[in-house]
Amino acid sequence: MAVRAKFRCNTETVRRWGPAESQAARSYEFLAVYDPDLPEDQRYAKASPSGNLTIQVDNPNVTFTPGASYYLDFTPVDEPASA
């Protein structure tokens, strides 16, 4: 069963290291959204009224905008049977 959640990017934190701080990784914190004026958010809040997700992204082509909302899709992985 797949599940869709709606989260807002709350913060972006950039961490730099290496020679002259030439290497960087970005961490993003997402929070579950709820806007009482949006029917879509009301539906999501019934299923996931609260939650947070923090991820680190090393790929410079992948960015998230603080203040923007995103759908998160959770799909079960077919795990191989244990031997």
**Residue 82 falls inside a structural domain:** no
Q: Which pLDDT does position 10 carry in this prediction?
A: 96
Domain count, the chain: 1
**Residue 49 falls inside a structural domain:** yes
Domain residues for the domain of 61 are 3-74
Q: Which pLDDT does position 28 carry in this prediction?
A: 97
* 8-23 average pLDDT score: 86
Terminal Cα distance for the chain, rounded: 25
Where does residue 7 rank: exposed (0-12), middle (13-18), buried (19+ CB within 10 A)?
A: buried
Of the pLDDT bands very low, low, confident and very high (cuts 50, 70, 90), residue 68 is very high
**Residue 20 falls inside a structural domain:** yes
**Residue 59 falls inside a structural domain:** yes
